[in-house]
Amino acid sequence: MERVFVIRYSEIGLKGKNREFFEKKLIDNILKIVRPAAVNKRYGRIIVRIGRNDPNALEERLKYVMGIQNYSLGYALAHDIDEVKKVSLELAKLEVEKGYKTFKVSAQRGYKDFPLNSIELNREIGGYIYENIPGLKVDVHNPEFEIGIDVREKEIFVFSGKKYLSGGLPVGVSGRALLLLSGGIDSPVAGWYAMRRGLELQTLTFLSPPMTTEKSVQKILDLGRVLARYLPNGLRMWIVPLTEVQMYIKENAPDEYSLILQRRSMMRIANMIARRVKAKAIITGENLGQVASQTLTNMAAIEDASSLLVLRPLIGFDKIETTNKAKEIGTFEISIQPYIDSCVAFAPKKPATKSDINEIRKVEEKLDELSDLEYQAFKKRESYRIENA
């Protein structure tokens, strides 16, 4: 008898080669993130073998695997019907302790030479549980819990209880993207949602040394450690010093445009890095209307500087939803630390909220040292690697 997790994923819309690719990635990610004894594929399900590992530690790491719809705890048993009865009864007792009063047994016989077919198994095991737990009733249409039985050629899986996870797609199936990671609350959450759609992330943060200190770097790396839990191959983080670009803009462009111009510089540098690492999109934590940088016209003026697709996973979110998600994934406490990403001294007193793109381009054209300073900043990039731990 061996403990296992029975994993279910949503395969809706996944057919043929796509489905194979999805399953392969999911299994690979489970091996790297959960680090179990072994993983086996069954039709429409994945069996994670706990082996000698601590089941609680493995279960804790399961929630970092994007693409899992739900899972059950269970056992892999020999072809021994008495053993199946005994374990099924124990699992049913655990469910009854939670207050559930109705159940059914759902057996599947993948191995056709087993003497009992699925209907007979349902009856046999269901009857045994019913007889041994007073007050518990069978409800085949709407049971409060199910005991699952899956008969395979070499073993029988018995499981119960469903715990729901984030669903989505396995990290990596959608390719790679570059997350613009600030020290704020929003961008780490945006990164989480991007990963849930199967994107593998790298991050890029602009700092303003020496006004920003080592504490800001540490804060960004702490955020990276949270994101890296979901990334089977760990996280590559980029940090670029933007101070000289910011100073140049501050001194040479109208104050009201400095914010947009800085953001446009960030976008161009982000494009340089993204191209190098073969990222196909840029992700931001932008959301409509919260601040001057996030009016529709300003967002368009910023995006105009990017030739790569810019995705904004939080566009439909309320601040409260974003904050709750940040708390749930564990980035909130890090984000509210006071260490800033970019120096406030460079923020305009009265930023334009409606920037005309032609006007912005005209102003930018006159900043003849700008592209060189951007390239110098790009060359000063530092890189950190965070392992999946």
Chain residues that interact with ligand ATP, rule: CB under 6 A: 180-182, 184-187, 205-206, 284-286, 290-291, 293-294, 341-342
As measured in angstroms, the least distance from the Cβ of 256 to ligand ATP is 16
Using the minimum distance from each CB to Mg ion, give the nearer residue, 110 or 184: 184
Residue closest to ligand ATP when measured from CB atoms = 184
Evaluated on CA atoms 50, 54, 55, 61, the torsion sign reads: negative
User: Minimum distance from CB of 132 to Mg ion (Å)?
Assistant: 59
Residue among 77 and 340 whose Cβ is closer to ligand ATP: 340
CB of 290 to Mg ion, least distance (A): 10
**Does 175 count as an annotated binding residue?**
no
Nearer of residues 68 and 185 to ligand ATP, judged by Cβ: 185
Answer with the entry of ligand ATP, Mg ion, none that 157 interacts with (C-beta below 5 to 8 A by kind): none
Q: 């050629």: which residue's tokens?
A: 153
**Residue 293 binds: one of Mg ion, ligand ATP, none (C-beta under 5 to 8 A by kind):** ligand ATP
Residue 294's binding partner among Mg ion, ligand ATP, none (Cβ under 5 to 8 angstroms by kind) is ligand ATP
Copy the structure tokens of residue 114: 């087993």
263 marked as part of a ligand binding site: yes
Q: Which two tokens mark 276?
A: 């190098």
CB of 321 to Mg ion, least distance (A): 17
Residue 329 CA to residue 185 CA, distance in Å, equals 11
Instruction: Of 134, 71, 127, give the one whose Cα is nearest residue 101.
Output: 134
Q: Nearest approach, Cβ of 207 to Mg ion (angstroms)? A: 12
Q: How far is the CB of 85 from ligand ATP (least distance, A)?
A: 55
Q: Nearer to ligand ATP by C-beta: 30 or 360?
A: 360
Q: Is 205 annotated as a binding residue?
A: yes
- Measured from the CB atom, the residue of 184 and 330 that comes closer to Mg ion is 184
**Site residues for Mg ion per CB under 5 A:** 182, 184
Residue 294 assigned as binding residue:
yes
Nearer to ligand ATP by Cβ, of 129 and 226: the residue is 226
Per the CB < 8 A criterion, the answer to whether 24 and 198 are in contact is no
Q: What is the CA radius of gyration of the chain?
A: 26
Residue 196 C-beta-side C-alpha neighbours within 13 Å: 16
**Which residue's CB atom is positioned nearest to Mg ion?**
184
Answer yes or no: is 180 a known binding residue. yes
Residues at the annotated binding site?
180-181, 205-206, 263, 285, 294
Residues at the annotated binding site for ATP?
180-181, 205-206, 263, 285, 294
